[in-house]
Chain A
Amino acid sequence: MRNVFLRRTRDVGTSMPARRSPPSTPRWVKVSVIIFIVLVLLFLILHLTGHGFGDHMHMAIRAHGGQQL
């Protein structure tokens, strides 16, 4: 009798809902990944087409008053 009571209280305290399959990816993660991919593509397109804000390759030349080749 005492054993049964102990076992029950311990089960209530420690057990977690048992799941047989892995949890599915939440919607907020899927939406965030899509937004992230779009932003990366946008960034790459802007830089590759020359519409980016900075021209890191030739900055040092301009900083010292030189001319680009």
Chain B
Amino acid sequence: MIMTPGLRKFALTAHVITSVGWFGAVAAFLALSIAGMISQDAQLVRAAYLVMGLTTWFIIVPLALASLLTGIVSSLGTKWGLFRYYWIVAKLVITLLATLILLVHTQPVDLLVSAAEKMTVLGANLYGEQLQMVIASGGALVVLGVITALSYYKPRGMTRYGWRKQQEQNKGMAAKDAATDKAQGVVHEREDNNVHEAAR
């Protein structure tokens, strides 16, 4: 189902806002995770992990899900489709995986938040999780950058499914053209007959 131009622009705007918001929130998360790992200030470290917990559950996870949803709606409602071009399939796969990995990584975030709530100084046994947060958020930024680049560059390549759909559409258009030509031919024939009759 193709959306109206107004609805299409609305869906695309929502998709851009949620995707860019997701990128920005992950960038903030990366800064907090680095501060939490390297800072000597215990209060700053605790505050960083508490804010990271809030950011994860109230900004990053909702934006990731909204970005996925608006992306699917935007592609299905336009001529691009969801499986017709490789760059859209790539975006879908990467976004699905990124969302899945994000949901899995909420567990170590919750662990760090829980530790920050209970302890005044985080133990060295949490260093693995702290490092994991830095690497995961850095990797997420790279992945989200790749997704954004795919959207703007739109690298060429139509899938077999997209090619089949295009062939079907071409056939449909050719049949429609033939029917229109036939109808116009009949009209012109009638016009010619009327001209001849008037001349008599």
Contact = CB atoms under 8 A, between A and B. Distances in A.
Interface of A: 2-3, 6-7, 10-11, 14, 16, 18-19, 22-23, 25-26, 28-29, 32, 53-56, 59-60, 62-63
Contact of A18 (B86, B128, B129, B170): B170
A23 B158 contact: yes
Contact of A54 (B114, B132, B158, B164): B132
B90 interface: yes
Contacts of B108: 54, 56, 59
Interface in B169-194: 170, 173, 177, 180-181, 184-185, 188
> Interface of chain A, helix or strand or loop or mixed?
helix
Contacts of B151: none
A14 B178 CA distance: 13
Given A22-B160, A26-B157, A59 B188 contact: no
A33 B166 CA distance: 25
A29 B177 contact: no
Interface residues of B, number: 32
Contact of B157 (A6, A10, A25, A62): A25
Nearest to A20: B167
A63 B53 CA distance: 15
A3 B157 contact: no
Contacts of B135: 53
A18 B115 CA distance: 63
Contacts of B4: none
